[in-house]
């Protein structure tokens, strides 16, 4: 399978402006595991999930197919980074207690990844994948963001975005799914943080390549008008969908 790299060119911005996952997510996942020896964070990107997992696991191996992402990943004791595709991790068989995939499963060859996950997981190990939807601020700005997302950028989103929009509902792995609690992401951001985040979207880059114009210029003034003082802090939220499976045999 050819690796679809939508983020390397802006890996530093990706690391700086992507929202944080809630601490409750990682405590829940750790408590769901029979042991906390080794976690594999697959398609780690900036290492955002990996560094949180290090608070609960003795070792975290964080892999990504993008060398640029690995080069800009956050360093933390207990986390080791390696370049590897999701379908060929290089990990030993039957060694992993937890596999996490944060906002990346839709880029994988999912059948091949399922085989690799099954190979490296211990019996009773856990596989957790999650994705998050469109950010929400207040009502008027939320409407403008939906317009930007769907009407301006709509045709520039890769096909795999549909899997995200579906909340990974159609994903099936050959092990038993277990219940997971509702989750939400939240940040206290200024206007520049939101613009920085929107600039990490792959569809923004695709639009820019096609038209020679950053599409945020089309909505920037309207967004700022709705926001108010650019230094004012607003609560930004994202709905987070989590699905979890346990290997029983």
Nearest Cα neighbor of 120 from 144, 151, 88, 147 is 88
Q: Give the pLDDT confidence of 144-180 residue by residue, as tens digits.
A: 999 999 999 999 999 888 989 999 999 989 899 999 9
Report the pLDDT value the prediction gives residue 139, as an integer from 0 to 100.
Answer: 82
pTM over 0.85: yes
In CATH terms, the fold of domain 8-246 is Rossmann fold (3.40.50)
Q: Can you give the residue ranges of every domain in the chain? A: 8-246
**What distances in angstroms separate CA 47 from CA 14, 94, 140, 188, 204, one per listed residue?**
11, 23, 33, 21, 23
Question: In whole angstroms, what is the distance from residue 228 CA to residue 214 CA?
Answer: 22
Question: In whole angstroms, what is the distance from residue 218 CA to residue 223 CA?
Answer: 10
In this structure, is the dihedral angle defined by the CA atoms of residues 172, 176, 179 and 185, taken in order, positive or negative? negative
Q: Give the pLDDT confidence of 46-82 residue by residue, as tens digits.
A: 899 999 999 999 999 999 999 998 998 999 999 999 9
**What distances in angstroms separate CA 105 from CA 40, 47, 86, 227, 239, one per listed residue?**
14, 15, 9, 33, 17
The three-class DSSP label of residue 111 is helix
In this structure, is the dihedral angle defined by the CA atoms of residues 42, 169, 55 and 38, taken in order, positive or negative? negative
- Return the bridge partners of 60, or none: 39, 79
The full length of the chain comes to 249
Residues of the chain with pLDDT under 70: 1-15
Question: In whole angstroms, what is the distance from residue 75 CA to residue 195 CA?
Answer: 26
């Amino acid at each position: 399978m050819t690796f679809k790299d939508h983020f390397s060119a802006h890996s530093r911005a990706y690391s700086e402006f992507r929202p944080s996952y809630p601490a409750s997510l990682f405590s829940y996942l750790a408590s769901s595991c029979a042991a906390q020896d080794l976690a594999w964070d697959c398609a780690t990107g900036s290492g955002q999930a990996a560094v949180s997992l290090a608070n609960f696991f003795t070792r975290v191996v964080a892999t990504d197919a993008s060398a640029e992402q690995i080069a800009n990943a956050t360093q933390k004791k207990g986390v080791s980074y390696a370049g590897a595709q999701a379908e060929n991790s290089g990990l030993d068989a039957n060694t992993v207690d937890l596999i996490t995939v944060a906002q990346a499963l839709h880029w994988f060859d999912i059948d091949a990844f399922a085989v690799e996950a099954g190979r490296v997981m211990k019996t009773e190990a856990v596989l957790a994948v999650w994705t998050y939807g469109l950010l929400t601020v207040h009502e008027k700005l939320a409407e403008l963001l939906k317009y930007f997302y769907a009407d301006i950028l709509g045709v520039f989103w890769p096909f795999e975005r549909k899997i995200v929009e579906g909340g990974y509902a159609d994903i099936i792995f050959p092990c038993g799914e277990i219940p997971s609690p509702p989750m939400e992401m939240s940040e206290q951001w200024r206007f520049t943080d939101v613009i920085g985040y929107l600039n990490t979207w792959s569809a923004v880059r695709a639009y820019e390549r096609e038209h020679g114009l950053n599409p945020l210029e089309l909505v920037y003034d309207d967004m700022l008008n709705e926001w108010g003082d650019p230094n004012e802090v607003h609560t930004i939220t994202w709905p987070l969908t989590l699905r979890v499976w346990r290997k029983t045999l």
